[in-house]
Amino acid sequence: MEFLLDLHPDAYPLEGFRRRQLLEWVFVQGVGDFSAMTNLPAELRTQLQGAFHLNPFREIETVRSADGSVKYLFTLQDGRQMEAVYMPYLDRKTVCVSTMVGCPARCAFCATGAMGFGRNLTPGEIVAQVLAVAGGEGLAPRELRNLVFMGMGEAMLNYENTMAAARILLHPQALGMSKRRITLSTVGIAKGIRRLAEEDDLGLKLAISLHAPDEETRQRIIPTGAANSIEEIMAAARDYQAVTGRRITMEYTMLRGINDHPWQAELLAERLRGLVSHVNLIPMNPWEGSGFQSSTEEQIQTFYDILESRGVDVSVRRSRGKDAGAACGQLALKRPGAVSGAVSSAASGVGSGAGAA
């Protein structure tokens, strides 16, 4: 049986008016059960039910943070697990989705990296996270307007499936997201960065997890970093910007005594010279067994001041969802405290139907 969400909306098994009806049920109304699509003929619903399934999840659990963020733990049909995070703000609702089970990048300060690599997610498994989060929060799918590919996995190493998912997210008859509101994060796969620049129909925003300006430190905290030197990453970033004209975000996790020295701030500023960029300084989020500590507030401020004095656009990003194990670098299938909700999704499908008529 084929997973319907793996298909591009233009390849759905109906034509014309019926296809539009089906797309509206799935992506506008958030209904994950063919039998509930009441304006489709009963015979057609039966045919769809026999040929396709709409739900990649065996179970969905949630852990809610005091700041309003929610971690979603998904058990896939093959028993593997991965996570997504819902982050509500005053002016937007954002979902952080995974592209893999686990991650092969093995960043030493990241709990996901410590898990190792499980498998790539399919386009539909990526998109289904958005529908499930919307349903879990009582929202219509299109109320989630901001998305970041920053959950589990290295999106550039699951490139085809991630791009296919992005095209579904952007499709006007699917989730109709704005390309300006989708960000893809990479640990620095130079080939993938250049490839992304050529995706004319996508226009996704790019974030590079640099985390150190010198090779010795970067390869210490990112063991796979040797495959793409900082010089190669920066050259790819400049090529990307020359093609797209878009600003690039540099993610920099602040690790006490590792990458927070003043000379490293100076070197980072030098690396970014001539590049239109924004640096996010991220205090390291704790997780059991990491062996790292976040830089002190004083160290972060000194690093910030040096960058700013060198003309670098910089901010300190305070991660949300720490108490739920949902913050940047914490995703590792952990359940801190009590799980606040556990719902079997087998019967009801991915969405809750919150927006259904």
Structure tokens at 111: 């709990």
Q: Is 103 annotated as a binding residue?
A: yes
Whole-angstrom distance, CA of residue 241 vs CA of residue 235: 10
Q: Is 110 annotated as a binding residue?
A: yes
Share of the chain above pLDDT 90, in %: 76
Q: Is 209 annotated as a binding residue?
A: yes
Single-letter amino acid, residue 146: N
Q: What is the residue whose two structure tokens read 């499980």? A: 118
C-alpha of 10 from chain center? 24
Catalytic residue numbers, as ranges:
83, 328
Average pLDDT of the chain is 89
Write the pLDDT tens digit of every residue in 184-222: 999 999 999 999 999 988 989 999 999 999 999 999 999
Least confident of 117-121, 140-144, 304-308, 315-319: 315-319
Tell me, what DSSP letter sits at residue 9?
Answer: G
Report the candidate in 104, 7, 141, 66 with the shortest Cα–Cα distance to residue 327.
66
Write the pLDDT tens digit of every residue in 33-57: 999 999 999 999 999 999 999 999 9
Q: Where do the DSSP E strands lie in the chain?
A: 2-3, 52-53, 57-64, 70-76, 81-88, 93-96, 100-102, 117-120, 146-149, 182-186, 205-209, 248-254, 277-283, 314-316, 341-343
Are 175 and 145 in contact, with CB atoms under 8 Å apart?
no
Are 55 and 76 in contact, with CB atoms under 8 Å apart?
no
| pLDDT confidence of residue 115 | 79
Q: Is 96 annotated as a binding residue?
A: no
